[in-house]
Amino acid sequence: MKVSLTFFFILYFLSKLQLTGSDSLLKVIGMADVVFSDADFERFRNLIYKESGINFTSTNRSILESRLKEQLRETGLATIQAYYDVITKDKEAFKKFLDSITTNLTRFFRNQAHFDALEHYVIPEVLKNKKASGNTLVKIWSAGCSTGEEPYTIAMLLSEILPPPYKYEITASDISLKSLMVGKEGFYADARIVGVPDNYLKKYFDKVEGGYKIHDDIKSRIKFDYHNLQNDSGLRGLDIVFCRNVLIYFDDVSMTAAVNRFYDSMASKSYFFIGHSESLFGMDTKFEFLKTQWATLYRKYI
């Protein structure tokens, strides 16, 4: 019987490393032999959809598969089924799994037109309403805030334009615990602060080794918190909500439910920003479409 040299090499290599068991073998030869079947895909996509509303389809199946194999490498588990058993029994493990499959692409002042509309239209309108009611607190939610660039951009802008006695508070939420920790820390490498105007950089950041750190007075205005958009946030009376480039991961049913929860959390005459490639067109919601000189957005009028 012929035995390949490759087989002998693997046995020799394992003996030298004193590795035993299937988990160790996986670490040596990689994850190529781990099978991600159609049944596995359906089981995981259904779990993800049920718990988060994120909808994986056949077009992005490869992303899910690669992230799962990364988690097997990290945890040392040998099979897809073993990992599924872990995340369905351990809530923290499941949160880490959701963290691994979400894409956290963001930057300061992303889609400048939205911030122009915020400055020149939304804030003046909100303040008119506040003046009539005697309320001086502007409440904002940055949903799907990723690593914090969006809420910090909003905070810096409002610090510049809000006249006394008006103040603001921002809730920044995400399903990624790793991203939230970056946001709470408020440190960004040099390459990450591209797009921040020089006057903002000097006024609201400290230069530190390797990058920049947000001033504590700006950080104190923002509460970073874990939140799954499948659930009610408990927030109420919000004047402005940003949820940009998040709803694209939802199907129509989950998106409608999430948007209606946003509506319930907002005050009368409040404003809702979504991503420039997203739309509420054809959805059963109570939001009004609003086109300004700078950007399009949505409004809760009643």
**Pair (91, 134) in one structural domain:** no
The residue out of 45, 70, 101 marking a domain boundary is 101
**Pair (292, 168) in one structural domain:** yes
In a domain, 280, yes or no: yes
| Strands across the sheet containing 296-300 | 222-226, 167-174, 137-143, 238-243, 266-274, 296-300, 288-291
The residue out of 67, 101, 135 marking a domain boundary is 101
**Pair (133, 91) in one structural domain:** no
Q: How far apart are CA 36 and CA 241, in angstroms?
A: 38
pLDDT at 33: 64
pLDDT at 275: 93
**Pair (218, 282) in one structural domain:** yes
**Pair (145, 283) in one structural domain:** yes
**Pair (124, 65) in one structural domain:** no
Q: Residue 268 belongs to a domain with what CATH number? A: 3.40.50.150
Domain of residue 45, residue span: 31-101
The residue out of 101, 134, 157 marking a domain boundary is 101
pLDDT at 3: 47
Using CB atoms within 10 A of its CB, is residue 121 exposed (0-12), middle (13-18) or buried (19+)? middle
In a domain, 25, yes or no: no
Per-residue pLDDT of the chain (302 residues; tens, 9 = 90+): 444 544 444 444 444 444 444 444 444 444 456 778 899 999 999 999 888 888 888 877 888 888 888 888 888 888 889 999 999 999 888 888 888 877 667 899 999 999 999 999 999 999 999 998 999 999 999 999 999 999 999 999 999 999 999 999 999 999 998 899 999 999 999 989 988 999 999 999 999 999 999 999 999 999 999 999 999 999 999 999 999 999 988 989 999 999 999 999 999 999 999 998 899 998 999 999 999 999 999 999 88
**Pair (268, 296) in one structural domain:** yes
In a domain, 20, yes or no: no
User: What is the total count of domains within the chain?
Assistant: 2
**Pair (91, 136) in one structural domain:** no
In a domain, 266, yes or no: yes
Non-local CB neighbours of 302 within 8 Å, separated by 6+ positions: 268, 286
pLDDT at 123: 98
Q: How far apart are CA 217 and CA 211, in angstroms?
A: 19
**Pair (76, 121) in one structural domain:** no
In a domain, 294, yes or no: yes
Q: How far apart are CA 99 and CA 95, in angstroms?
A: 6
**Pair (203, 290) in one structural domain:** yes
